[in-house]
Amino acid sequence: MSASTTEAEVERQLDEIRVGSVEFYGEDELRERLTVALREKRPLRVKLGMDPSSPDLHLGHTVVLMKLRRFQSLGHTPIFLVGDFTARIGDPSGKKKTRPALSAEEVRENARTYVDQVSRVLDVSSAEVRFNSEWMDAMSPADFVRLCSRQTVARLLERDDFAKRYASEEPIAVHELLYPFVQAYDSVALEADVELGGTDQTFNLLMGREIQRHYGQAPQAVLTHPLLVGTDGQEKMSKSLGNSIGLTDAAEDVYGKVMSISDVSMLDYVRVLSAGEWPVLEQDAERVARGQGDAMALKQALARAIVARLHGERAAAEAEAHFERVVRSRGLPAEIAEHELLTGERTHLGLLEVLEALGLTKSRSEARRLVQQGAVQVDGARVDDPTYGLGTGDYLLRAGRRRFARVRIR
């Protein structure tokens, strides 16, 4: 590859890498490193870490996963790092109070399905999948103290969330101050050329650059990305806030949740999730923002695109058909699961008990909430009495907009 061809390819890749990012730290350094990498046919090592602080990844995580996939498509080595060690500390980013540390057992259980979930977006067969307990569990106390000596408390308190908590006299636990050191050392252990993350991770990502210098490595480039707002349109997407769209959610649930977001959130979703792959949607979103387009048509197209990204085109078409039939036309799904329950020595079964037993709700408390909200139907009639009972017979139950079941009670 000639010098001019290499230079053109470097700029082409940098243009692709910039798409969707908020800040690009170390761009000139990466340009030089990428030039050498192309000449030597050595792929860059691109790191993305996620802590298994909960068992489910959500749509917000795909923002950075799509950028990692972009690097992969350019011929570089994607490194998906499962932060099983850092999850035991708890990332304080954006937290107003100390996050409780998880046990090793909780972390292990949460991490169990991470790779499968990530494979919905990333080709994990050609990626490095690592766990930071590999090197952190092996680090001696003396080496860890030496690592922590590379930074001052004053520097740590420059972090926005730490600074706010310190100013408001909210407690900051010592273990929280250690988190940035561990995330930074991960970049040393992996010899990362690039690290990706959300804007809430900026401090930690830049700490990686500093720590790499202390260990004699060239500092990684850093690309930060916007955070996706949840389905409530208020807070960032989070499983704990109940406003998330999970990567493992059924295709029709993903479609329905996207259709439930506000028009304002819809425009944000197109901008943040496109990753350069939805140019038509981006153009349509610009027209809608100017008051010239069809907002409902755009939301339907966005729902299809998101489901297709997670589940494939066929599932997207089926999810759209399901939504039209069940939600908009208030019809019934093509297939409804059938069950049988026994009353035993009782004359009837409680509605809340039945909803939970059939898997229409995850818990008795969720069943009660849906009933009280008028979101439960028995044979097409709304039931808002949590004490309602079902005697022997056949019933069609509906919980919320999209969950149906037939049950024979005898």
Classify strands 77-82 and 194-198 as parallel, antiparallel or unpaired: unpaired
Residue pair 43/33 in contact (Cβ under 8 Å)? The answer is no
**CA–CA gap between residue 250 and residue 246 (Å, rounded):** 9
Q: What per-residue confidence (pLDDT) applies to 181?
A: 92
Does residue 223 share a domain with residue 186?
A: yes
Give the rounded distance of the alpha carbon of 282 from its chain centre.
21
Per-residue pLDDT of the chain (410 residues; tens, 9 = 90+): 678 888 999 999 999 999 999 999 999 999 999 999 999 999 999 999 998 877 789 999 999 999 999 999 999 999 999 998 988 877 665 555 556 667 778 888 888 888 889 999 999 988 999 999 999 999 999 999 999 988 888 888 887 778 888 788 888 888 888 888 999 999 999 999 999 999 999 999 999 999 999 999 999 999 999 999 998 888 889 877 778 899 988 898 899 889 888 889 999 999 999 998 999 999 999 999 998 888 889 999 999 999 999 999 999 999 998 888 776 666 778 788 899 999 888 888 999 999 999 999 989 989 998 998 888 988 777 888 888 888 888 888 999 878 899 999 88
How far apart CA 385 and CA 371 sit, in angstroms, is 7
Note whether residue 153 is domain-resident: yes
3-state secondary structure of 184: helix
240 belongs to a structural domain: no
Give the number of domains in the chain. 3
**Are 117 and 194 in the same domain?**
yes
Listed residue (160, 184, 182) closest to 172, CA to CA: 160
Last residue of a domain, one of 306, 328, 350: 328
C-beta separation of 306 from 253 below 8 A? no
Nearest to 72 by CA among 122, 11, 133: 122
Three-state secondary structure string covering 305-371: HHHHHHHCHHHHHHHHHHHHHHHHCCCCCCCCCEEEECCCCCCCEEHHHHHHHCCCCCCHHHHHHHH
Q: Are residues 61 and 117 in the same domain?
A: yes
Q: Residue 177 sits in a domain of what CATH number?
A: 3.40.50.620
Same domain, 344 and 317: no
Last residue of a domain, one of 303, 328, 353: 328
Supply the pLDDT for residue 154: 83
Contact 129, 115 (CB under 8 A): yes
pLDDT of residue 324: 83
The two structure tokens encoding residue 257? 């949740």
CA-CA distance, 346 to 302, in Å (whole number)?
49
| Residue 155 maps to a domain | yes
Residues 64 and 193 in one domain: yes
Strands 381-382 and 376-378: antiparallel
Q: Name the residue range of residue 311's domain.
A: 249-328
- Regarding whether 205 and 88 lie in a shared domain, the answer is yes
Instruction: Kindly state whether residue 333 falls inside one of the protein's structural domains.
Output: no
Domain endpoint, select from 193, 227, 261: 227
Alpha-carbon distance of 71 to 46, in angstroms, equals 7
Helix (H) or strand (E) holding 205: helix 202-214
| Domain match, 149 and 279 both | no
Q: What is the DSSP string of 26-37?
A: THHHHHHHHHHH
244: left (phi over 0), alpha (psi -120 to 50) or beta: beta
Q: Does residue 350 belong to any structural domain of this protein?
A: yes
CA atoms within 13 A on the CB side of 122: 31
- Are 373 and 265 in the same domain? no
Q: Is residue 232 included in any domain, yes or no?
A: no
HSE of 265 in the Cβ direction (CA atoms, 13 Å)?
20
Judge if 280 and 371 occupy the same domain. no
Q: Looking at the domain assignment, is residue 115 inside a domain?
A: yes
Q: Are strands 194-198 and 349-350 parallel, antiparallel or unpaired?
A: unpaired
Dihedrals φ, ψ of 394, to 5°? -105, 135
pLDDT score recorded for residue 1:
65
Token pair 């790779």 is found at 115
Distant-in-sequence, close-in-space partners of 201: CB < 8 Å, separation ≥ 6: 93, 224
Position 235 in a domain? no
Same domain, 204 and 304: no
CATH of the domain at 393: 3.10.290.10
Residues 401, 283 share a domain:
no
Q: pTM for this structure?
A: 0.78
Taking a C-beta distance cutoff of 8 angstroms, is the pair 132, 83 a contact?
yes
Query: 153 and 40 in one domain?
Result: yes
Q: DSSP secondary structure string, 132-157?
A: THHHHTT--HHHHHHHHTTS-HHHHT
